[in-house]
Amino acid sequence: MGPVLSFRDFVEMLRRRAWLILLVIAAGCVLSVLAAKDATHKYRSIEVIQVTQPQIEGETSRDSGNSEDTISRRLQLIEQRVMARDSVLAIIDKYGLYAHQPKLTENEKVALLRSSVRIDGLQNNGSSDGWVSVLTVTAEMPTPQQAQEIAHEFASRTIELNNRSRLDKARETLAFFTAREETLRDHISRLEDELASYRQVNEVALPGTLEIRRSEITSINDELLGIARQRIQIERAADLSRQNDLPATAARKQTDFNDQLTTLEAQAKLLRDRKAELEASLQSSPEVERRVGAYEHELEQIRVQLQEASARRTDAEVAYRLETQAQSERLTVIEPANLPDYPFTRSRKKLALMGAAVSVMMALGLAFVLELLNPVMRTAAHMERDLGIRPVVSVPYLDTRSRRSRRRRTDKTA
């Protein structure tokens, strides 16, 4: 059971701990007044930026970076760049912020300004795909002018960085696919030169050469067969001439027959050599065909890549033109930063009154805790309540120290 169970106990506690309660309340009020005096008002200014969708819809606008996820990530990166240390210090120097606090270091100034400025993205209420449609730049500063200027400065830097980042991205994309297209064209030209040179060295690999060579071998075989027939006919005519003609006539005809046979032999040798050359080329043609097939397959793959690169380069060129002509996604200010009329923080009077109220509660609480730490049965009611025993006699408390002092003063006077 506690020592304060009734209003009379509470009044007795106040009487006993009056000096402590008054001391705590006085100290708390003094500290509250000092804290309220040192407290500074803060003013809030907000600038609203709208994320406008591109004027030209389609694959090109989406490829140029207008997807929902891309916008969110790009705005996060822009916010990080705006809140970078160098950017924040430049703003502090530009507007002379915290000049009345010369003891602050650069890191402390950067931390203060970062905590005073907030950039929030709001999603489109009519869309569930996460499309960020509005950005709000909120600045909280000690003066209305500073709040308006800082909110406008951060909003302007956000818009500038967004436009610059989109233009740089479109330019880099166009340069990349242009270089890619040129590289693929050079590669195709080099492969075509290599294939032409290889075909020139290995003629059998030319289109239709195999069929021509096989047809030529067939013709050579036919010619060799005809030569063999002519040879048989000449040899038979020579035998008949030796049998039927006079020796002188037979000798003369034999000379003619031998010349004809020599000519036929020379022709047959040329035909056999050509046939051997053709047959050798036919034996090496499978390897040549394999190499030519590899060249053509690689050329086909690179041509497909070139078509894709050309299409992407065309899209990148259109996206770059959209960026330069301000027809793509843009950030526009729809609500400039206002000059706040009143601070949003509490007034000094309210802070002082709140501090005084807290001091009173602390003083009463401290007095109550001291009563709990020093439990004393001060009245007959306390004894009956705590022990269940009703006292027969209740002797009042007599302050003997005051009586002794009065007696001493009487003796001295006598």
What digits encode the pLDDT tens for the residues 77-129?
888 899 999 999 999 999 988 888 888 899 999 999 999 999 887 765 554 44
What pLDDT, on the 0 to 100 scale, is given for residue 188? Answer: 92
More confident call, 108 vs 52: 108
What pLDDT, on the 0 to 100 scale, is given for residue 47? Answer: 92
Give the least confident one: 190-194, 355-359, 367-371, 372-376. Answer: 372-376
- The percentage of residues in the chain with a pLDDT greater than 90, rounded to a whole number, is 18
DSSP string, 202-251: -GGGSTTHHHHHHHHHHHHHHHHHHHHHHHHHHHHHHHHHHHHS-HHHHH
- The percentage of residues in the chain with a pLDDT greater than 70, rounded to a whole number, is 74
What digits encode the pLDDT tens for the residues 190-206?
998 888 887 777 654 45
Exposed, middle or buried, 42 (CB in 10 Å: 0-12/13-18/19+)?
middle
Q: Is 4 left (phi over 0), alpha (psi -120 to 50) or beta?
A: beta
Q: 395 falls in which pLDDT band (50, 70, 90)?
A: low
DSSP string, 102-121: TT--HHHHHHHHHHHEEEEE
CA dist., res. 138 & res. 119, Å (int): 6
Of residues 413, 376, 410, the one with CA closest to residue 9: 376
22, pLDDT greater than 80:
yes
Of residues 80, 81, 79, 66, the one with CA closest to residue 133: 66
Average pLDDT over all residues of the chain: 78
| Most confident among 143-157, 313-327, 333-347 (mean pLDDT) | 143-157
Of residues 178, 179, 163, the one with CA closest to residue 317: 178
Q: Is 333 left (phi over 0), alpha (psi -120 to 50) or beta?
A: beta
Tokens of 255: 């000379």
Q: 319 falls in which pLDDT band (50, 70, 90)?
A: confident
Q: 39 falls in which pLDDT band (50, 70, 90)?
A: low
Of residues 259, 87, 231, 62, the one with CA closest to residue 158: 87
CA dist., res. 295 & res. 289, Å (int): 10
What pLDDT, on the 0 to 100 scale, is given for residue 243? Answer: 78
What digits encode the pLDDT tens for the residues 221-239?
888 888 888 888 888 887 8
CA dist., res. 380 & res. 391, Å (int): 6
Beta bridge partners of 44: 140
More confident call, 46 vs 33: 46
pTM, rounded to two decimals: 0.56
Give the 3-state secondary structure of residue 134: strand
| Most confident among 114-123, 174-183, 237-246 (mean pLDDT) | 174-183
| Most confident among 82-91, 160-169, 210-219, 398-407 (mean pLDDT) | 82-91
Q: 176 falls in which pLDDT band (50, 70, 90)?
A: very high
Q: 274 falls in which pLDDT band (50, 70, 90)?
A: confident
What pLDDT, on the 0 to 100 scale, is given for residue 156? Answer: 92
Tokens 């007795």 -> residue: 12
Residue 279's φ and ψ, nearest 5 degrees, are -65, -35
Give the helix/strand (H/E) hosting 6. none
Give the least confident one: 92-106, 305-319, 343-357. Answer: 343-357
pLDDT (mean) for 271-296: 74
Tokens of 52: 């406008």
Which residues lie below 8 Å from residue 137, measured CB to CB, with a gap of 6+?
46, 47, 48, 49, 117, 118, 119, 151, 154, 155, 158, 337
CA dist., res. 411 & res. 414, Å (int): 5
Of residues 411, 383, 337, 320, the one with CA closest to residue 141: 337
CA dist., res. 314 & res. 177, Å (int): 9
Give the 3-state secondary structure of residue 17: coil
More confident call, 298 vs 394: 298
